[in-house]
Every structure is written in structure tokens, then in C-alpha cells.
Structure 1
């Protein structure tokens, strides 16, 4: 006869449940740690993009002023030179707006996804359409 007790099914289930719970908690803690690192790196990356965008804006402003002064060096009055540069930006803005509107008009609803999604409740009830 054995002096070691054989574990009961209840005890085995309780032990398995405790181990699964500990495993899930460990995985959640690991995921939180990884997400913190990823979020920090993503935040730094986004901040660097914003700073680069700000510098890009400054470059555009300075280049615009330079172009206006080059036009002035060609003999045109400074007011007309700056007006020409502003007009160039106006034409570019209108062109981008027209292209943007044409792209927005091409947006369509996801018809296949909508029709498939409408079939899900019937499929879950065991009926096919």
C-alpha cells in the first residue's frame, strides 16, 4: 500500500485552474511591460516627426522669402515679387483641393463586408441564407 495520497480530480482541477490563472496574469504583466516600451518609443518617434515637420515649415517660409527676393533682384518691385510667390502657393493649394475632392468622391461603402456582416446572426442561429 502506498503512503503517498493520489490527488483527487477536484484537487487536480484546482491546481490546473491556479496555474492557468498565474500564467494568464504573467502574460498580462509581460504585455503591459512591452506596451509601455513600445508606447514610449512611439511617442518619441511621433515627437521627432512633429519637430521635423516644424523645421520643414520654417524651410518653406524661408525659401519663399528667398524666391521673392530673387524675383526682386531680377528688377521687379518687392511687393509684386511677394505677391507672385503667394499666387504660386494659391495655385498649388487650389490644385491640391481639387485633387483631394476628386479622391474623396471615389470613397465607397464596403458593400461585401456589410452583406457578409448581415449574414452572421443567421449563421450563428444555425440558419443559412
Structure 2
């Protein structure tokens, strides 16, 4: 045979690998595992930030509605309804309407924020699984 192709290396008896091969395999698997965990963490953080942003937007809407509540209490009562039903009743109606709007927006925002899972929840679970595997890699 010519030197163009190399003969396959004979495996040690019993299918045992050398310490160098085992170390190389562990290093490669650990490197792959770390890259996968980092990718999972990035994906999870992006999703959590998106959900938190939506909840914050709803809470901001509640703040705007609350601000409009104060403005409406003064301006709308006097201008729009004061001459029709009396100033006291007009003030009460406008106050109740904006109070309901603010409460609905605040509750919706609060619900959205509560749906955001704890930081890196899935990554934490997989890291625990990886640690268990590292302790008992053959099981």
C-alpha cells in the first residue's frame, strides 16, 4: 500500500479510549454545552424583555388615563356637561368614567407584568440537568 491513505488506527482492546481521547471528548462536549446555554439565555432574555415592555406600555397607558382623569375633572365638567345636568353631577360622571378607564388599564398592565417568568427560568433548569449529567454521564 502507498502512503496516500493512512490505515485506520487500531482501537484499544475492549473498546476503551485513551485518557487524551476522553479529555478531548469532554472538552468538546462542554464547549458545545456552554454555547448552547448562552444561546438559550439570549433567547430567553429577549422574550422576557418583550413581555415586560408590553406590560410597561399598558401601565404607561394607565398613567395617561390617570392624568386625563385630573384634567377632565376640571375642564370637561365645566365645559361639556355643566350647563346640561348641573356642575356637580357632571363632575361625578366624568370622574367615574376616567376612574374606570384607569383601573382597567392598570389591571391589564399588572396582569401582563405578572406573566413574565423569573429571569432565565429555562436556562436554570437546563443548567441543573447538565450538572446532573456531568455527575452521572453514563446514566
TM-score by shorter chain over 0.5: no
Greater relative contact order: 1 or 2 (C-alpha under 8 angstroms, separation 6 or more)? 2
- TM-score for both structures, normalised by structure 1: 0.44
TM-score by length of 2: 0.42
